[in-house]
Structures are given as C-alpha cells and as structure tokens.
Amino acid sequence: MPTKMTPLAVTAHTATSALGSGLAAQLAALESARSGLRPNDISSAPLACWIGRVDGVEAVRLPASLQVWDCRNNRLAWLGLNQDGFMPKVEAARARYGAARVALLLGTSTASIGATEEAYRQLDADGGFSDDRLYPPLHAPHSLTAFVAAALQLEGPCLTVSTACSSSAKVFASAERLIRLGLADAAVVGGVDSLCDSVLFGFNALELVSHEPCRPFDAARNGISIGEAAGFALLERAAAAPDAIQLLGYGEASDAHHMSTPHPQGLGAELALDDALARAGLSAGQVDYINLHGTASQKNDEVEAALVSRAFPARTRASSTKGYTGHTLGAAGIVEATVAMQAIEHGLIPGNLGGDTPDPGCGAQFAWRNERQTVDVALSNSFGFGGNNACLAFARAGFGA
C-alpha cells in the first residue's frame, strides 16, 4: 500500500455536459433532479437510444488562431474552457509559475475521431481526404490535448491519457506525480469526449446501449446512455490556496480479467479504492459520499454495488449521476470529480436518478433521492474497458491536515 500523500489544492474546476455549461447549471440540474438526456438526434443514421448532448456546441466558433483545430470535440473543449472563469485562472498560474512549469494532462476515449468519420463520409473522387480535412494532428488521439495546449499557451509536460472511461480520472494521478517530483508547479487536468458515430454504433454493437434513458442500479436497467462533456481542473500545491478543496488521494489498478467486462468480484476496482484511501490516509468510514461509476450496464452496476456494500458503512452515501449526464466516457472521470467537489461545496448528495426500483444488490449506502448533509470527504469511481480502474478522493480544505 502507498504511503499518505501530500494533498494538492484544486484551485479551479469546471464542467460542461448535457446539464448545461458550467458548474451553476450542473448544480441547478442536480438540485432539481432534472436529467439532461434526450432522444438521439445526432448520429449520421437513425439509432433508437437516448443521449446526453451538449446544447450549443455547433454554434461555438474557435478563435481564428485556433481554427485549424475546428471539430465538434474541440468546440466542446473550448466551450468548457470558457466557463467558471477557468481560463483566467490558468493564465494567472501561467504568469505565476511560467508556461513550462504548468503541465497539461487530459483524458479522452475518442478525441476528435468524429472529424475523421466526417472525412471518410466526404472522401475525394480519388478516395483520399478532401483538402479541407487534411490537417494531420486533428486525426490523432492527442488532438484534444494539443488543441488545449495551444489555447492555454502551456509549454510544460503534456500528454493524453486514453484508457477508455477512466481516462480523465487517471490524469489527476499523473499530475500529482509530476508536481511531487518537482517537474511542474501546477497542472491543468480534465477531459473531453464528444458524441460521434464510433461510440454510438460501437456500444450499440456490443448491445450495451439502452433504448430508454439509462437507469443506473435499477433492477430493470438495460444499458447505458452515451453522453458528451468537457471538464477541467487546476491543481497546485496546497500552500498556494489553503482554503481550496483538496485532492487527498487517488488509486489506480488493473482487473487483468476481460477487455469489455469488469472483474466479477470487482478486484481491480477494490484495489484502486484501497490505494486511494491509503494515499489519502482515510478509512472507509470517513467517506461521506461516493460518486459511483454506475453506468447502468448489467455487469458494472452489479459488481460496483457489491463493492460498496462490503467496503463502506451505511453512513457513507453513494450514487451514480449518469442518469443526469449519460455516460460521458473519457470525460466521465472529470465530470464526476466536479460532482464530488460540488457535494463538498454545497452539502448536496445527488440522488441516483433512474434507480426507481433499486437492484436488490444495492445496500443502505445508496442515496436514491437528493439528500442534504455536510460532506467533508467525497470519492469518485471511474472504470474503463480493458479492466482499467481509478478512484479519486477529495476533501474540504483542512480535513486532511
């Protein structure tokens, strides 16, 4: 087990999803138990399912200097960066530490593959990409992070983590290591994934997509609803912002079981949880809220509910918020990290929307409706294809001291 880590301050954070642009919209939707899901109106061919689509992405215009990066994923990234005063806070960090001392680590599962799909729908007569689609960096998994690096003018360590649905949780771990080793003084972390044919028809081919709004942890759940989102956070040493929410710990582990099905006993998920608690110096009983991965797939929810039942006392509250946003894939880690932080900031345990007939495997920890209480410590679970598991621990400033 790892030793307790020095907490980092989360000096800014933001999220944009089907619940709206920015944290206020997200909080308002959670408080009023309003889902952002709608019938699918985005795939290039009909597909009967519900999606978490972000309004207004089509109308976003990138600045002229960034126009070569134009695509739905980067428009969504730009929309997200422009919420909650996030960009000015990054500019201040850049001025304070220097552009080479601010790392940029973003998660995504498919980046701008939507732009590559589009290029394939509009191939030239000779079978190649048309001239206006020929910007090579746009057709690679790093396109999101390269675009954001240009947008934020950051010159420090920079990489894309692409471990499917745990991507934008794992970036917190990479950032902590860089700061601990003195390779960076601050880090922008986060992730963006946007709706595209690849994920809609891909998950549909795996028979994992519900024809209805997803129902995490419901006895009659029948699959996921795919969403899109952009979220970001700025991490600095705790001394830089003693009153900010803190990243207390993180854990990462591999299932070593199957490419697209979780370990039946949740082995990797539990290892990641134990690792996060050890790094945070916490016992499970000190956790007030867990934002669960809770995709509404049969297997994930069964395994995760069993883990919650055996690892936590009833006072720990647990819910999935995928009934609000849909499963935002590579962006799920950061979006749900912001929900966990909002739970701490606003004393709101969001109810597990869609779980109208709770699965009998769910214990007393589950919050089926919104609850109000003080939250000092909140966790966020993120699990991905390939058996890739991550868990993040956040706490109110001063809690870990």
Partner 1 sequence: MSGLDVWVDGVGLWSSQLADFAALREVLAGRPPQPPPRRPAAATLPANERRRAPESVLLAVEVAGQAVAMSGQDAAGVACVFASSHGDQAITDYMCATLAQVPTELSPIRFHNSVHNAAVGYWTIATGCHAPSTAIAAQRASFGAGLLEAASQVCSEQRPVLLVCSDYLGNGPLLEVTACTQPFGCALLLMPTRSPRSLARLRLTLTTTAASSTLDEPLASWRQANPSATALPLLARLAQGDGSCHIAAAAQLGLQIDMESVA
Show contacts with partner 1 in window 78-117 (CB under 8 A): 100, 109, 113, 116-117
Residue among 201, 211, 265, 298 that touches partner 1 (CB under 8 A) = 201
| Total site size for partner 1, rule CB under 8 A | 73
Residue among 80, 156, 190, 400 that touches partner 1 (CB under 8 A) = 156
Report the alpha-carbon distance of residue 360 to residue 277 in Å, rounded: 27
Residue among 59, 64, 95, 205 that touches partner 1 (CB under 8 A) = 205
Indicate if 165 belongs to the active site: yes
Our CB check for partner 1 shows the closer of 96 and 258 to be: 258
Report the alpha-carbon distance of residue 150 to residue 78 in Å, rounded: 11
Report the alpha-carbon distance of residue 332 to residue 167 in Å, rounded: 8
Catalytic position from the list 165, 196, 214, 391? 165
Our CB check for partner 1 shows the closer of 84 and 176 to be: 176
Catalytic position from the list 263, 293, 362, 391? 293
Our CB check for partner 1 shows the closer of 113 and 362 to be: 113
Residue among 43, 222, 265, 309 that touches partner 1 (CB under 8 A) = 43
Our CB check for partner 1 shows the closer of 33 and 256 to be: 256
Q: Is residue 254 involved in binding partner 1 (CB under 8 A)? A: yes
Report the alpha-carbon distance of residue 307 to residue 312 in Å, rounded: 8
Q: Is the dihedral of CA 167, 152, 182, 334 positive or negative?
A: negative
Residue among 161, 226, 331, 344 that touches partner 1 (CB under 8 A) = 161
Our CB check for partner 1 shows the closer of 180 and 372 to be: 180
Binding to partner 1 in span 165-194, by CB under 8 A: 170, 173-174, 177-178, 180-183
Our CB check for partner 1 shows the closer of 58 and 207 to be: 207
CB 304 within 8 A of CB 272: no
Point out which span in 7-15, 17-25, 38-46, 374-382 binds partner 1 (CB under 8 A): 38-46
- Please give the structure tokens belonging to residue 349: 């345990």
Looking only at the bridges linking them, the beta strands covering 8-17 and 20-21 are antiparallel
Binding to partner 1 in span 264-283, by CB under 8 A: 267-268, 271
Binding to partner 1 in span 369-398, by CB under 8 A: 384-388
DSSP 119: H
Closest CA to 103 of 7, 10, 235: 235
Q: Is the dihedral of CA 391, 205, 76, 128 positive or negative?
A: positive
Q: Is residue 9 involved in binding partner 1 (CB under 8 A)? A: no
Q: Is residue 257 involved in binding partner 1 (CB under 8 A)? A: yes
Our CB check for partner 1 shows the closer of 202 and 281 to be: 202
197 Cα distance to chain centroid: 20
Report the alpha-carbon distance of residue 316 to residue 326 in Å, rounded: 24
Catalytic position from the list 71, 196, 263, 327? 327
Residue among 41, 58, 131, 207 that touches partner 1 (CB under 8 A) = 207
327 Cα distance to chain centroid: 9
Binding to partner 1 in span 133-152, by CB under 8 A: 134-137, 139-142, 145-146, 149
Burial 109-139 (b: 16+ CB within 10 A, else e): bbbbbbbbebbeeeeeeeeebeeebebeebb
Residue among 84, 185, 218, 255 that touches partner 1 (CB under 8 A) = 255
- 112 Cβ contact list (under 8 Å, min separation 6): 71, 72, 73, 74, 138, 139, 143, 144, 194
Length of the chain: 401
Residue 102's H or E segment, with its range, is strand 102-107
3-state secondary structure of 26: helix
- Tell me how far, at minimum, the Cβ of 320 lies from partner 1, in Å: 21
- Tell me how far, at minimum, the Cβ of 155 lies from partner 1, in Å: 4
Our CB check for partner 1 shows the closer of 135 and 368 to be: 135
- Tell me how far, at minimum, the Cβ of 228 lies from partner 1, in Å: 17
Report the alpha-carbon distance of residue 81 to residue 16 in Å, rounded: 9
Catalogue the active-site residues. Answer: 165, 293, 327
